[in-house]
Structure 1
Amino acid sequence: MGRLFMAIGDSFTEGVGDWEPRLPNGVRGWADRVAKQLSKADPEWQYVNLGIRSRRLKSVIEEQIPVALELKPEVITFYAGGNDILEFRKDMKQFLGQYEQAVDALVSTGAKVLLFTGFDIPVHPVLAPFKRRNWRFNECVRQLAELYPDSVVLVDYWNWEVYRDKRMWDIDKLHMNRAGHRYMAIRILEILGYPHQLVFDPFGAADRVGFWQATQRDLEWLRQWVLPMFGRRMRGITLGDELRPRWPEPMYPAKGMKKQFRKRPKSEEPRHLRNFEIR
């Protein structure tokens, strides 16, 4: 197999927030953008993206990491754990131990492995207790990057001030929007030292929102996004239950990603996505 870029993880990797009905699962995301730029520099690059929204670390380890061990990519991006952190009862010591084992397995492939810290999103006080878990997770990620200096590349997303701008986030406030995904792709390509043609357009002036309007928006956000999310968790269901990985087999981005998706049989797409009902 030639050069292979593999992205594994959850909604962050899948591309949620960067909505695009002409691509698998109705999203595009930073990983597709990175893959496309790699292919422009070298058409022999292949790409696999196994990320599925709402996946916990255990599922990523069981479903996705074995594929990486088999295919042995040149570059692997790995982000998982955000959904675990948001669970009400979570043994963080056990969780971080599983994460460390996952990284060790990925490093054993000989690939360059990109690890991501989780961004410290300014959230409503209702979610504030979960932020401390994120801080602990980030410290673990940084320590692993120091442990494997020759194999692991740290993408310290937590330190990037640009993501403190609300215009980098989708309406749910938990996923990057198109601007956020584009900027992430640019930074990853720069960190890896690969050439690219992506441009990040600076924002215009931000909208000013008064106290009462901001409060109303927060209440609407809680009603539309936070409460349904925790409701699904209590029922044991997720938004990714019916989804397949977006690019489960090695494909050549240079041959056109939208073109290749159009050739897929409609039967391969989950029923609720066939009419692009992606949210």
Structure 2
Amino acid sequence: MGDSFTEGIGDPEPHSPGGHRGWADRLAEELSRDRDDFRYANLAIRGRLLTQILAEQLEPALALKPDLISISAGGNDLIRPGSDPDALAEKLDAAVGAMSAAGATVLLFNGPDIRDTPVLGMVRGRVAIYNENLRTVAARHDAVIADMWSLRALTNPQMWSADRLHFAPLGHHTIAIMALDALNVPHQLLPQRPEPLPTQKWQAARAEDLVWAREYLVPWVLRRLRHQSSGDGISPKRPTPGPVFGPGMPGGAGA
């Protein structure tokens, strides 16, 4: 359950449903190893706010009677002016309680430390408050915290996609490892070292910033002003449970 983060935006894979892979697909690929009866659904849709995620995805998720539910929600709310991290956590608390009461293990993602990230860095304080609230929610319902705030590797620019708002394939891979470790699941994923970044003159860096602002930041701001979402008209990429095949796995792309 979730938004663009769980949908896998920033990690393009033409052979995956919806054209994106992401940390959740990568995690499911590992969970499915040597399990013929494994089934995976992904209900996340980019751009969704917390209330939308709960209204649209919670009931369908519970109807699947899952053993494990992951939820990352609230990030799109926190970047909006006037958002209240305490109120958001209260809404999420009730939903996590319903998931836990249904017998599912809940994997609850907090937000990464976005101190050095353009645009997102301005809401770092709200993210920190929200994260502390999520720890309380997790403790109350015996949920597992996937702690992105403590994942220092995510401060590397190569973990982020060109839009600087979503994670790149390396970021999704790194997050999948962290989530599997949080669940105490043995896996075959190995940490990948990003290539050293070339030294840039300040003129080149500013030119890149201008291109980024024109291609990504301005459209993002315009959507907010027009009350539009990148997820308008988008459906879940895996609405029903099914087997998952990743690149290099039997039956998957590259196999």
Distance in 2, Cα, partners of 1:33 & 1:179: 11
Alpha-carbon displacement from aligned partner over 1:86-123 (angstroms, at most 9, x marks no partner): 22233444323212222222222211111111112212
Equivalences for residues 121-136 of structure 1 within 5 A: 121=114, 122-124=116-118, 127-136=120-129
Which residue in 2 is equivalent to 1:47? 40
Taking only the aligned residue pairs, the percentage that are identical comes to: 38
User: In the alignment, residue 29 of structure 2 is paired with which amino acid?
Assistant: K
Q: Cα deviations across residues 213-236 of structure 1 (Å, max 9, x unaligned)?
A: 222222222222122112111112
Q: Does 1:94 align with 2:87?
A: yes
For residues 211-268 of structure 1, what are the alpha-carbon distances to aligned partners after superposition, in whole Å with 9 as ceiling and x for unaligned?
2222222222222212211211111211111111011001022684669xxxxxxxxx
Does 1:78 pair with 2:71? yes
Is 1:201 aligned to residue 192 of structure 2?
yes
Distance 1:191 1:256 in 2: 28
Range 20-29 or range 198-207, more displaced: 198-207
Which residue pairs with 2:54 in the alignment?
A: 61
- The aligned amino acid for 2:40 is Y
SS in 1 for 2:149: helix
Equivalent in 151, 155, 163 of residue 172 of structure 1: 163
1:153 offset after TM fit, Å? 0.5
Residue from 197, 217, 227 that aligns with 2:218: 227
Structure-1 residue corresponding to 2:25: 32
> Which aligned pairs between 1:109-258 and structure 2 lie closer than 5 A?
109-121=102-114, 122-124=116-118, 127-148=120-141, 151-253=142-244, 256=251
Residue 104 of structure 1 aligns to a residue in which SS?
helix
Structure 1: state its 5+ residue gaps. Answer: 1-7, 260-279
Inter-CA distance 93–183: structure 2 relative to 1 (3 Å threshold): closer
Gaps of 5+ in 2: none
Partner SS for 1:77: strand
- SS of the equivalent of 1:64 reads helix
Q: Which amino acid aligns with 1:89?
A: G
Which residue does the alignment assign to 2:98?
105
The TM-score normalised by the length of structure 1 is 0.83
Distance 1:180 1:129, change over 3 A: closer
Deviation for aligned residue 1:49 = 0.3
Contact 1:76 1:114 in 2 (8 A): yes
Which has the larger displacement, 48-57 or 61-70? 61-70
CA distance in structure 2 between the partners assigned to 1:45 and 1:231 by the alignment: 42
SS in 2 for 1:9: coil
Q: How many residues align?
A: 249
**2:106 partner SS:** strand
Q: Aligned-residue CA RMSD in angstroms? A: 1.9
> Is the 8 Å Cα contact of residues 56 and 80 (structure 1) preserved in structure 2?
yes
Matched residue type, 2:159: M
Distance 1:16 1:209 in 2: 27
Distance in 1, Cα, partners of 2:177 & 2:229: 30
How far 1:72 moved relative to its partner?
Answer: 2.2
Counterpart amino acid of residue 241 in structure 1: D
Moved more, 226-235 or 193-202: 193-202
Distance (Å, rounded) in 1 between the aligned partners of 2:216 and 2:10: 13
Matches of 1:137 and 1:257, distance apart in 2: 38
